[in-house]
Amino acid sequence: MQVEVVAIGTELLLGQIVDTNSSWIGQELAAAGLNSHYQTKVGDNPDRIRAVLRQAIERSDAVICCGGLGPTQDDITRELIAELMGPDMSGVEMEMDETIAARIRDMFESRGRVMPENNLRQAMIPVGGSAIPQQPGTAPGLVCPVGTSGEKVIFAVPGVPYEMKEMVIGTVIPHLREMAGDTGVIKSRVLRTWGQSESGLSEMLAERIEQLDAAGNPTLAFLASGVEGLKVRITAKAEDEAAVEAMLDTEQAVLEPIIGHVIFGQDDENMEAVVIRLLTERGLTVAVAESLTGGYVAGRLCAVPGASKAFQGGVVAYQNEVKYKLLGVPEGPVISEPAAVAMAEGVAQAMGADIGLATTGVAGPDESEGKPVGTVCLAVSSADGAVATTVRLPGDRERIRQFSAITLLDLLRRLLLETA
């Protein structure tokens, strides 16, 4: 079962938009155990779209065609797909789908707007094709059987990411899995890690990856996610929901003794969400004093829905006088563990929080207080006392600031787990 992705749009070739749709579809296909050997980007040109679509459906079993479904003149994808349908790819006619037409009219009316007549072009679909039931926007997605007995299929989905995703999850992937005779349940679980490089994790898991590669199910994949850490995705296939969950549990139990010390969360739970959850479970509040990170730690904590249960606020003490006056840091050098501890204690007191956090260090471009760029002191203070650490982070100013923020949150997470 071979599936190709064709992304349509001159704006993609010009680099005005990065084609994240194809990457996302690639992830979903891989997670569903479907092979994908090619992804092509082509501009809004009928001849070239025609050539790319024909080649794709000839060498693969299915094509997901993304973009080019809007109401404008350029959007000729539907007609070009119709040309490839019918016996011996001899082409089929287009016909108005009245259900889609009514839905498009309704969408305009419900917003109190008059529908430009050319929007009805979107309701024209190839004879033999059908509309994808999910329709979050005005552009309908299409399922178009190709080949004499309809043994192949071209899907057309809009380029708007949230519309595309709803259709791919709701219709395209289930349809492809049915074509592949794949009736089991496939699920993934993501173990989120911080503190190890991809090559480090690969080395730690080398033996296990070899075993899994030999067996074929479940599978492991690494997804590098920058300041969000490195994701380890387990994907399993089984005959029902319970069996697939059991497989994921079993595999997780195998991995945890090997990499458990760097796993901080699961699936969509990022570092700040874990921290807010642990604080809330313990009934603790936190405040943060930031020098080089300048608000990044506070910003990430606030981004968690429900942050108000645990997050009091923060002080961005960029200038030293702010550290001295507002936070009570003793006057003198401020890139040190004692200064970080004083900042953490000062902000906890000022904000009436149980726990204080602090960052101080050298983001660059120049060194400071004789300390090299990348030197960062982090502190966590609480009623139990204070913990401080100094790290040397690589990279440029922005990377040093971002990595300082997540490293501090990870330090707090580890301390909260120890004092559970």
Q: Is position 121 an interface residue for its own copies (rule: CB under 8 A)?
A: no
Q: In what order do the strands lie in the sheet with 230-238?
A: 219-224, 230-238, 185-193, 263-266
Minimum CB separation of residue 312 from its own copies in Å reads: 5
- Beta carbon nearer to its own copies, 65 or 100: 65
By CB under 8 A, name the one of 203, 398, 417, 419 that touches its own copies.
Answer: 398
Contact 66, 5 (CB under 8 A): yes
- Beta carbon nearer to its own copies, 48 or 261: 48
d(C-alpha 165, C-alpha 157), whole Å: 9
- Beta carbon nearer to its own copies, 87 or 306: 306
Q: Is position 27 an interface residue for its own copies (rule: CB under 8 A)?
A: yes
Q: Is position 222 an interface residue for its own copies (rule: CB under 8 A)?
A: yes
By CB under 8 A, name the one of 72, 118, 319, 419 that touches its own copies.
Answer: 319
Contact 2, 38 (CB under 8 A): no
Burial class (CB within 10 angstroms; exposed 0-12, middle 13-18, buried 19+) of 214? exposed
Contact 370, 377 (CB under 8 A): no
Q: Is position 108 an interface residue for its own copies (rule: CB under 8 A)?
A: no
User: Among residue numbers 33 through 72, which ones bind its own copies (CB under 8 A)?
Assistant: 36-43, 45, 48, 52
3-state secondary structure of 362: coil
d(C-alpha 298, C-alpha 312), whole Å: 9
User: Among residue numbers 358 through 397, which ones bind its own copies (CB under 8 A)?
Assistant: 364-365, 397
Q: Is position 142 an interface residue for its own copies (rule: CB under 8 A)?
A: no
Q: How far is CA 317 from CA 293, 360, 413, in A?
A: 10, 9, 23
Which part of the chain contacts its own copies (CB under 8 A), choosing from 127-135, 260-268, 307-315, 370-378? 307-315
Q: Is position 209 an interface residue for its own copies (rule: CB under 8 A)?
A: no
Minimum CB separation of residue 357 from its own copies in Å reads: 12
Minimum CB separation of residue 322 from its own copies in Å reads: 4
Q: Is position 314 an interface residue for its own copies (rule: CB under 8 A)?
A: yes
Q: Given phi > 0 = left and psi -120 to 50 = alpha, else beta, which region is 197?
A: beta
CB atoms within 10 A of CB 347: 28
By CB under 8 A, name the one of 153, 301, 388, 400 that touches its own copies.
Answer: 301
d(C-alpha 110, C-alpha 348), whole Å: 51
Residues that bind its own copies (CB under 8 A): 12-20, 22-28, 30, 36-43, 45, 48, 52, 221-224, 288, 290, 292-299, 301-303, 305, 307-308, 311-319, 321-322, 326, 350-352, 364-365, 397-398, 401
